[in-house]
Amino acid sequence: MSHDIDINVLIAVRGGSKRVPRKNVRPFCGSSMLELKVQQAMRLEGVSGVVVTSDDEDMLETAYRLGATPMDRDPDYATDTVPMADVYVHLASSLGCQDIMWTPVTSPLVTDRTMQDCINVYKHRGDHDSIVTTNLIKEYMWLDNKAINYDPKNHPRSQDLPNIYALNFAVNILPRELMIKNKNILGDNFYSYMLDEIEALDVDTEYEFMLAEFLYEKMRKQ
């Protein structure tokens, strides 16, 4: 079943990154992660707009220069302490589109092909109300000094561990009204779109920034 769609790509960035200062506009492979994400979003087919929301004037200027729509974010919704539920409602309520693609600049290794396919899957999503990217985790996991996905007395091979999937949020698409209702970028019956561990990389640390740069350059040369 095909759904009518009216998607705005929403790129939310703050100026106050703590673990990797100014990571969104820091030099990255001859550009910046923000510039690369905006340019990628502008290349997508089937979207009606690209919106960059930020509390940072430099980032809003970058969005404008690249042809995206800059949207000034209220400072109250750009702090480290504001609940993300409030941020989601505030941002979704500020748009007039039917559907929102939420994609962070900190996922620079997601390919154009994957993002375009996510749009196609969302359009033909059947009974699913949204789409979220995930990745498979095969790790020996513990919580409160207890193994949670294997028996330490019968140590399995890593490939025999149960399949556990992480929500990496590299690409989320859902109806705008559902984002407001749920106060989240997850629907009630989402479609899990699998990414490999490279595309799933999220840049939150200096190590991940350096790793993403290295991998991005290798992908660009292929």
pLDDT at 222: 81
Residue 2 lies in a domain: no
> Which residues of the chain fall below pLDDT 70?
none
The total of structural domains in the chain comes to: 1
pLDDT at 17: 77
Distance CA 133, CA 166 (A): 9
Q: Cα–Cα distances in Å, from 218 out to 29, 54, 81, 201?
A: 11, 30, 37, 15
Residue 99 lies in a domain: yes
pLDDT at 181: 98
Residue 46 lies in a domain: yes
For residue 100, give the CATH number of its domain: 3.90.550.10
Residue 1 lies in a domain: no
pLDDT at 85: 96
142's CB contacts (< 8 A; 6+ apart) are 148
Residue 164 lies in a domain: yes
Distance CA 41, CA 69 (A): 12
Distance CA 6, CA 49 (A): 9
pTM: 0.94
pLDDT tens digit string along 139-152? 999 999 999 999 99
Place of tokens 């999220």: 202
Residue 92 lies in a domain: yes
Q: Domain of 195?
A: 7-221
pLDDT at 15: 83
Residue 211 lies in a domain: yes
Distance CA 38, CA 64 (A): 10
